[in-house]
Every structure is written in structure tokens, then in C-alpha cells.
């Protein structure tokens, strides 16, 4: 008898909660493939005088990060990371990228020896000497194969079962088929491709472009300007991928993870929202993050900083004018109007 897969979701914010609903349902659907219980690691917080995990397990929803959406009965919130991941054979990483290293260190030695993972993390591990994907960072720390998932997926809309597409990048065919079973539904259509690098790169860099789009919105510049920013952003995403990751395929940018996600994020995502408020209020980004995001973390501004600090010593900032201008507006006090003035070569 083939041993069933044990699934653990690492992360429980807005997107992690929406994904948990899909995974819980599909695990029950494919009961011949997966164990019934899905453990979800929840960073313990106080919610109205109670532990958040207790509330989730009792009410079958995450009232802080995804209120009003009920989870399947087989999802179990677990506050202890080691307990949640112990003997898990399928790991779903969906947490802010700044926490990945510490989480992997704590998990090491506790997962199943044949485990594989999929990263839904939006960001890049950027060091002075190189750029690394978080799927590669997880793979290196845990010694397992890691795929990536990204797409035009606003969490609240996914949770409400409004139709959308997503892209999984996976080089191993068997793993790709497993992840397709885990995520694909009638309303969440999955396309599996081999270019995991391109999938993950798009998911990280589009957040920088969305900050630029939000700055434009804050200035009231309208649809034409935003369309120009989106086009220029897509070109810089493609150029960054082909310059520093030679394997990225052009076709990936036409998947849900590419142009579709870029349009969605520049229209309705948290990075756009906070950047617009930054222009309109003049408040610092960290203050707006606390005021507007209900405990969620902003990715675009941090990625903009990391990309700039990687490009600057290589004297390549002028080759990526949009990425560079976003950084200078947020971190160096450049005029917000430079989002138009300084983004063309």
C-alpha cells in the first residue's frame, strides 16, 4: 500500500488562509493520495483576548486575516512549528519572505525524508554577491525539491471562489502532478510549467512595479500613466530575469504569474494601496503598513531596496530606471513626480 502524503501549510496570513481553504478541500477530494488532516502553522497572536489558534480551530475561520471565510473541518491550526511540520511530506510555504531563513532553521531535521515543497513566497534573497530565489534557499537549507506558485490571485477573491488562474513552476513531472491535485479547482485553475525561476521572479518583482503604480495613483495621473508604468515594469522584470537568471523563458511572462499578476497587483494589491497612501498622506511606509494592512507585511518596498542594493555596486541602476526610481522615492526622498520624469531611458 502506498503511503499517503501528509500536508503542512507554513503560514496563515491572508493568502495562507485562502490557500488553506483550497488545500483542505482538495485533500478530502483526493483521499487516496493525501492524509485527511492538514496542519497549518500559525504564528501565535492574541485575538480579542484569546489565542488565535484556539479561535481558528473552534470557529473554522481566521477572523483576523480572512474574516467570514469558513475552512474545511480537516484544517488544524498549530502554533508550534516543529509539531506542525513533523513528518510532513508536502510543505506549502506561504509566509513573508523575511521570515524564511529562521523558519527553515527551526524545521530542519523534523520533516519527512522524502518531503518536497512548494513556495508561494513573494520575494528574492538578494545578497551583495548574488540573487537567490526563496525556493532555492528552502531547497538548500532543507535538502528537498521545491517548486513555486504565483499568479493573478487576490486572496479575498480566491477565498470567495471567484474564477482565476495561477502558475506552478516545477521541474519534476511527478511533483507537478501532485501539486496540481493539491491546488487545482473549478475556480482556481492551475497551469504547470517547468520554468520555476521565471514564476518566482515574476512574483517578487511585480510588487516593486505595483509600488510605482500606487505612486502614480496617489498623484492622480490616471490610466494612461499606469499602463506605461506596467509596460515598463514588465520590460524591467524580463530584463532582470534574463540578465541574472539566463534560463528564464519569455513565454513565462505571458502566464498568469507574469502579465496577468502584474495587472492585478497594480490595480488592487496591498503594495499599490500603501504607495498611494504614501503620496496622499506623506506618512512613512512603516506607519502606513501598520495602519492599513491589519498585521500583514509589505513586500514591494523591501524588494525595491534589495534590488537597488544589488544593482548599485554593479553600476547597473540606470538600466532599471523604474526599479531605481521607486527605491529613490521611498528611501531617499526623491520627488514623487519622478515616477514619470525619471523612468524612461
Give per-residue pLDDT as tens, 274-295. Answer: 999 999 999 999 999 999 988 7
- What value does the mean pLDDT take over residues 178-206? 97
Q: What is the pLDDT of residue 191?
A: 98
Residues 157 and 292: their CA atoms lie apart, in Å, by 19
Tracing cell 513565462 back to the chain, one arrives at 252
pLDDT given for residue 297 in this prediction: 79
The pLDDT-based confidence of 175 (bands split at 50, 70, 90) is very high
Burial 59-90 (b: 16+ CB within 10 A, else e): eebbebbbeebebbebbbbbbebeebbbebbb
> What percent of the chain shows pLDDT beyond 90?
88
**Contact between 187 and 277 (Cβ < 8 Å):** no
Q: Is the predicted pLDDT of residue 177 greater than 90, yes or no?
A: yes
256 pLDDT band, cuts 50/70/90, is very high
Asked if the model's pLDDT at residue 100 lies above 60, the reply is: yes
Give the model's pLDDT for residue 298.
Answer: 84
Give the strand pairing for 50-51 and 5-10. Answer: unpaired
The domain limits of the chain are 5-194, 198-341
Q: What is the pLDDT of residue 1?
A: 62
Would you name the residues annotated as active-site residues?
206
pLDDT band for position 296 (cuts 50, 70, 90):
confident
pLDDT of residue 56: 98
> What residue numbers does the annotated binding site for NAD(+) cover?
11-16, 43, 99, 155, 270, 297, 299
Contact 242, 178 (CB under 8 A): no
Q: Indicate the burial class of 48 (C-beta count within 10 angstroms; 0-12, 13-18, 19 or more).
A: exposed
* pLDDT value of residue 336: 96
> 198-341 in CATH: which number?
1.10.1040.10
Comparing 81-95, 126-140, 184-198, the range with the smallest average pLDDT is 126-140
Q: Note the pLDDT of residue 126.
A: 82
- Would you state the pLDDT for residue 98? 81
Give whole-number Cα distances, 149 to 16, 40, 146, 257, in Å: 12, 18, 10, 8
User: Which positions make up the binding site?
Assistant: 11-16, 43, 99, 122, 155, 270-271, 297, 299
Span 134-145, pLDDT tens digits? 999 999 999 999
What is the secondary structure of 101-158 as a DSSP string?
HHHHHHHTTTS-TT-EEEE----EEE-SS-EEEHHHHHHHHHTSEEEEEE-S--HHHH
Residue 42 near residue 180 (C-beta atoms within 8 A): no
The average pLDDT across 143-154 equals 96
Q: Which has more pLDDT, 97 or 70?
A: 70
Burial of 31 per CB tally in 10 Å (0-12, 13-18, 19+): exposed
Whole-number pLDDT of residue 124: 85
Q: Residue 43: pLDDT above 60?
A: yes
- Name the pairing type of β-strands 50-51 and 46-47: antiparallel
* Averaged pLDDT of the chain: 95
Position 97 scores a pLDDT of 81
Q: What's the whole-model pTM score?
A: 0.92
> What is the reported pLDDT for 294?
80
Q: Which three three-digit cell numbers place residue 55? A: 479561535
Question: Residue 47: how many CB atoms within 10 A of its CB?
Answer: 16
Query: What pLDDT shows up at residue 246?
Result: 86
Q: Return the number of other C-beta atoms located less than 10 Å from residue 177's C-beta.
A: 13
- Segment 75-81 shows an average pLDDT of 98
Q: What percent of the chain has pLDDT over 70?
A: 99
Domain 5-194: top CATH class: alpha beta
Gap between the Cα atoms of 165 and 283, Å rounded: 35
pLDDT digits (tens, 9 = 90+) for 14-35: 999 999 999 999 999 999 999 9
pLDDT at 345: 52
Amino acid at each position: 500500500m502506498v503511503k499517503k502524503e501528509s500536508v503542512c501549510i507554513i503560514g496563515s496570513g491572508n493568502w495562507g488562509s485562502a490557500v488553506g481553504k483550497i488545500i483542505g478541500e482538495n485533500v478530502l477530494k483526493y483521499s487516496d493520495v493525501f492524509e485527511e488532516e492538514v496542519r497549518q502553522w500559525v504564528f501565535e497572536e492574541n485575538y480579542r483576548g484569546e489565542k488565535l489558534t484556539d479561535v481558528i480551530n473552534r470557529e473554522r475561520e481566521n477572523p483576523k486575516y480572512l474574516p467570514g471565510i469558513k475552512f474545511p473541518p480537516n484544517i488544524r491550526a498549530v502554533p508550534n512549528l516543529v509539531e506542525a511540520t513533523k513528518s510532513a511530506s508536502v510543505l506549502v510555504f506561504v509566509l513573508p519572505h523575511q521570515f524564511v531563513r529562521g523558519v527553515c532553521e527551526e524545521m530542519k531535521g523534523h520533516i519527512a525524508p522524502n518531503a518536497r515543497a512548494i513556495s508561494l513566497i513573494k520575494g528574492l534573497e538578494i545578497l551583495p554577491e548574488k540573487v537567490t530565489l526563496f525556493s532555492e534557499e528552502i531547497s538548500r537549507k532543507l535538502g528537498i525539491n521545491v517548486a513555486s506558485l504565483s499568479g493573478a490571485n487576490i486572496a479575498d477573491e480566491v477565498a470567495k471562489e471567484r474564477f482565476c488562474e495561477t502558475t506552478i513552476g516545477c521541474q519534476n513531472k511527478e511533483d507537478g502532478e501532485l501539486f496540481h491535485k493539491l491546488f487545482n479547482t473549478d475556480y482556481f485553475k492551475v497551469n504547470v510549467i517547468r520554468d520555476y525561476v521565471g514564476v518566482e521572479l515574476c512574483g517578487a518583482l511585480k510588487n516593486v512595479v505595483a509600488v510605482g503604480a500606487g505612486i502614480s495613483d496617489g498623484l492622480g495621473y490616471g490610466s494612461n500613466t499606469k499602463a506605461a508604468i506596467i509596460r515598463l515594469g514588465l520590460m524591467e522584470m524580463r530584463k532582470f530575469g534574463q540578465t541574472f537568471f539566463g534560463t528564464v523563458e519569455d513565454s513565462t511572462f505571458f502566464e498568469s504569474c507574469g502579465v496577468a499578476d502584474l495587472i492585478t497587483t497594480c490595480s488592487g494589491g496591498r503594495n499599490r494601496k500603501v504607495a498611494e497612501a504614501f503620496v496622499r498622506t506623506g506618512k512613512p511606509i512603516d506607519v502606513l503598513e501598520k495602519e492599513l494592512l491589519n498585521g500583514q507585511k509589505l513586500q514591494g518596498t523591501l524588494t525595491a531596496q534589495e534590488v537597488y542594493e544589488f544593482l548599485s555596486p554593479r553600476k547597473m541602476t540606470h538600466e532599471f530606471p523604474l526599479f531605481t526610481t521607486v527605491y529613490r522615492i521611498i528611501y531617499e526622498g526623491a520627488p514623487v513626480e519622478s515616477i514619470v520624469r525619471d523612468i524612461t531611458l
